[in-house]
């Protein structure tokens, strides 16, 4: 098993959103205290200039035979890059589990160790973090489940979308299932409760 998160994946999400002026996850250039401009020398942020040439490799997190990093989602806030990702571990008991984890960095070179914030549960297998948005004074992260309760190769039809909430991007609420509806959606009786 191998998987890696490359610098371009992170930069494409974080820096292009800020440069485009979207400001949803990165904040505006005014909020960040910089001009929001990317140059060959780096990117201006509230914490100073990020020197992109100091990053030794395009690979931020490298997997191996037991670990894979996938599906990166990132946000820049208060001088810190927060990277959320699927963290797939082939564990000592021979079983593979999907988790969602985060790492953080202030310089895009030095990253914290992965912090898993979803349970070890093959009937859920939280993974694939999506958008991270600021809403109503809190951060909201979208993610999904990829259930493989019998450790089959592919997930079951019980995959669902979820959100988690945080005030600080580090500590997250319990998952809340998104109740999606529409003409072709049938609800499981357990969801109706």
Quick one: what percent of the chain has pLDDT higher than 90?
50
Q: Quick check: is 185 in a domain?
A: no
Residue 50's domain comprises: 4-180
Query: For 112-143, what is each residue's pLDDT tens digit?
Result: 999 999 999 999 999 999 889 999 999 999 99
* CA angle at 51 for the pair 50 and 52, rounded to the nearest 5°: 105
Residue 192: pLDDT over 70: no
Q: Quick check: is 186 in a domain?
A: no
Query: For 87-107, what is each residue's pLDDT tens digit?
Result: 999 999 989 999 999 999 999
- What integer is the mean pLDDT of 157-166? 91
Q: Quick check: is 85 in a domain?
A: yes
Residue 71 backbone class (left: φ over 0; alpha: ψ -120 to 50; beta: rest): left
Predicted pLDDT of residue 163: 93
Predicted pLDDT of residue 117: 96
CA distance 3 to 38: 28
Q: Quick check: is 59 in a domain?
A: yes
Split into its structural domains, the chain has a count of 1
Tokens 């959606």 correspond to what residue? 185
Nearest to 140 by CA among 170, 107, 109, 165: 165
Q: Quick check: is 94 in a domain?
A: yes
Query: For 63-89, what is each residue's pLDDT tens digit?
Result: 999 999 999 999 999 999 999 999 999
* CA angle at 108 for the pair 8 and 114, rounded to the nearest 5°: 95
Q: Quick check: is 191 in a domain?
A: no
Q: Quick check: is 134 in a domain?
A: yes
- What integer is the mean pLDDT of 14-28? 33
């Amino acid at each position: 098993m191998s998987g890696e998160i490359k610098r371009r994946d992170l930069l494409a999400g974080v820096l292009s959103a800020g440069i485009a002026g979207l400001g949803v996850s990165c904040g505006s250039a005014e909020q960040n205290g910089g001009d929001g401009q990317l140059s060959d020398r780096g990117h201006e942020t509230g914490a100073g200039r990020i020197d992109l040439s100091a990053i030794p490799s395009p690979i931020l997190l490298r997997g191996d035979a037991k670990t894979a990093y996938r599906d990166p989602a990132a946000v820049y806030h208060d001088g810190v890059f927060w990277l959320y990702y699927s963290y797939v571990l082939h564990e000592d008991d021979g079983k593979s589990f999907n988790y969602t984890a985060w790492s953080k960095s202030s310089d895009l070179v030095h990253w914290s160790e992965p912090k898993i914030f979803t349970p070890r549960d093959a009937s859920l297998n939280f993974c694939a973090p999506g958008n991270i948005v600021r809403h109503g004074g809190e951060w909201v992260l979208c993610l999904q489940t990829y259930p493989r309760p019998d450790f089959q190769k592919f997930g079951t039809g019980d995959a669902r979308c979820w959100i988690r909430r945080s005030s600080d991007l580090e500590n997250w609420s319990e998952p809340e299932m998104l109740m999606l509806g529409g003409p072709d959606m049938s609800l499981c009786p357990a969801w109706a409760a």
